[in-house]
Structure 1
Amino acid sequence: MEYSSKLIIFIFQLTLIIFATSSSTAAAANNNSNLFREYIGAEFNGVKFSDLPINQNVDFHFILSFAIDYTTTTSTPTNGNFNVFWDTDNLTPSQVSAIKSRNPNVKVALSLGGDTAADGHPAYFNPTSVESWLPNAVASLTKIIQSYNLDGIDIDYEHFKSTPEVFAECIGRLVSTLKNNGVISFASIAPFDDEQVQSHYTALWRSYGRVIDYVNFQFYAYDEGISVEKFLGYFAEQSLNYGGGKVLVSFISDGSGGLGPRDGFFTACSRLKSEGNLHGIFVWSADDSLGLGFKYEKMSQSLLAISH
């Protein structure tokens, strides 16, 4: 009788352990995502949406690069009056509609800022004030987004002539307004590991992280040739900096920075996926991948599509 009671207790405890383990595994798996994102259009080399392989089992976001609040002829800031600076010959409103019509899993966003504006000048974030910049930005971006039938917005400012607090208020209120107006359905930010850049984006995150859906962290801005372990350490660090956010991993097509797709990137992704921490992958950029046959885009999407 005593032996039987001990056996029953043992079986009950074992059942609890198995249940807890399976629940934990399921919870981890639920943090994985099948989101794939790619920047396109910044280098004017003729790349088209239709050039890219699109796996129907992923959520695919094209990110047009870039819209900048500078004039189209000079590098003079225009205080929130955005203009299109991507390859408008090959990435047109009709082509946006066509790629979305053929692929129900595709959405298209635009990115703000980038590294440089006209003539290679830095694309500074340089508002006159929050109150003057915001209505201009809302109006000019709404016009572009609606004319191109876009779905979202990405923030990729890399140079600043404003305080982190002003940046946070301008961008946070811009994203909030565009969402509240039904102009966009998602938003992302694209920081990298630089003191000034991080100070601006973490200020934005602290005040308006609730309206930001994805963190496109530029892991390729780290030194070239880092190890898988170093990459995973950087991922953990940035996940803390943007606590609660969906931090996506990334590579640059030519492998010139960070952990390249030929050097362990997919090993790192598999590790994160096994831990339930693969929130998605993004690539800079389709322009550079055009001459490579999009080999690594195919591999990325295949990894994301399997039991995400």
Structure 2
Amino acid sequence: MGFSKLFIFLFILQTLLAMALTQPTDQKTNIFREYIGSVSNNVTFADVPINPNVEFHYILAFAIDYTTSSSPHPTDGKFDVFWDTHNFSPSEVTAIKNQHSNVKVALSLGGDSVKKEKCYFSPFSVDSWVSNAVSSLTKIIKEYNLDGIDIDYEQFHADPEIFAKCIGKLITTLKNNGVISFASIAPFDDDEVQSHYLALWKSYGDIIDYVNFQFYAYDKGTTVYQFMNYFHMQSSNYEGGNILVSLTTEGRGGLSPENGFFKACDMLKSEGKLNGIFVWSADTSKGLGFRYEEQSQALLAVSHLHSLV
């Protein structure tokens, strides 16, 4: 290689490296997501370490169509905020986004329970639910300067087709109206849950940007081998989707970091299948010093760098 060609090669390499260190927006390889706000334990946006070389999504937990005056609970698409509004106010959302250009903030719908009651997906009709949901969520999203939504219903008083139509029409309308720029779903391996989310994926998978699959819902003590099988199985179920791997800092289940979570991530990275990582949740990670958040983001940042070189 002549001197001029070597110089050009080194210049291009230097440029790519600089891009990798300053461009945080490759959703296929460096997306990191963290649920936050479900427990009032004084965790804040600023507590969580943010690597500038990943695309970082906070997901506020939760917005719920629930009211104590309704019967049965919850209500028909009339969402209200149930996250810690003291630490996660509209001004706090705007501040963290202004401080970090790679940060976006979403809200999650549903969750498992509120006020010790289960959160059911229970529409009166598709049209009424969608109309109410679009109206109430648009108001919340604009007030809080949010970027996207996450679907995390886990109990259902409606069949899979009704769920698919309601959620699919909601996402479509919010995107078409320019209210959100991305949407995700958060299923786990349960027959009822999967039947609803797979029906949604079959009809509306092309408008769903991320699948936050709850791999930590598998049994505690999951091995690396089992985790890899689970990942490939769910990648087949949600074919063509950006399946994100996940861990919980509550110690509930799945493949823990101590048992090889990051080894599995390295294996997926070597296969070109590590689309991103999400953590449940910052509220419990605070007591652990956010060490798994730092490790996850470092891994994704390196993966992103290698993909550019």
Q: Which residue among 123, 136, 141 is the counterpart of 2:137?
A: 141
Which among 174, 180, 197 is matched to residue 176 of structure 2? 180
- Counterpart for residue 109 of structure 2: 112
State which of 114, 124, 144 in structure 2 corresponds to 1:128.
Answer: 124
Query: What is the alpha-carbon root mean square deviation over aligned residues?
Result: 1.3
Q: 2:248 touches 2:281 (CA, 8 Å); kept in 1?
A: yes
Number of matched pairs: 278
In the TM superposition, what is the alpha-carbon distance from 1:52 to its structure 2 partner?
0.3
Asked if the contact 2:141–2:147 (Cα under 8 Å) also holds between the matched residues in 1, the reply is yes
Q: By how many angstroms is 1:48 displaced? A: 0.5
What is aligned with 1:83? Answer: 80
2:93 maps to 1:96: yes
Q: Secondary structure at the match of 1:307?
A: helix
Report if aligned partners of 2:112, 2:155 keep a CA contact under 8 Å in 1.
yes
- 1:155 and 2:157 matched: no
In the alignment, structure 1 segments of 5+ residues that lack a partner are 1-29
Q: Which amino acid aligns with 1:299?
A: Q
* 2:280 is the counterpart of 1:264: no
**Deviation of residue 98 (structure 1)?**
0.4
Change (3 A) 1:262 1:140: same
Q: What is the CA-CA distance between 1:164 and the residue it aligns to? A: 0.2
* Per-residue CA distance 1:176-216 (angstroms, 9 max, x = gap): 00000000000000000000000000000000001100000
Inter-CA distance 31–109: structure 2 relative to 1 (3 Å threshold): closer
> What is the Cα deviation at residue 71 of structure 1?
1.2
Larger radius of gyration: 1
Match 1:296 to one of 292, 298, 308: 292
**1:10 equivalent in structure 2:** none
DSSP 3-state at the match of 2:110: strand
* SS class of match (2:152): strand
Structure 1: distance between partners of 2:89 and 2:212: 24
- Answer yes or no: is the 8 Å Cα contact 1:32–1:273 preserved in 2: no
Q: TM-score, normalised by structure 1?
A: 0.88
1:206 and 1:286 map into 2 onto residues whose CA distance is 32
Distance change >3 Å, CA 47–CA 172, structure 1 → 2: same
Structure 1 runs of 4+ with >3 Å offset:
72-75
Q: Partner of 2:211 in structure 1?
A: 215
CA distance in 1, matches of 2:190, 2:67: 27
Q: For 2:266 and 2:68, locate their aligned partners in 1 and report how far apart those are by CA, in whole Å.
A: 43
> Structure 2 length normalisation: TM-score?
0.88
5+ residue gaps, structure 2, are: 1-25, 305-309
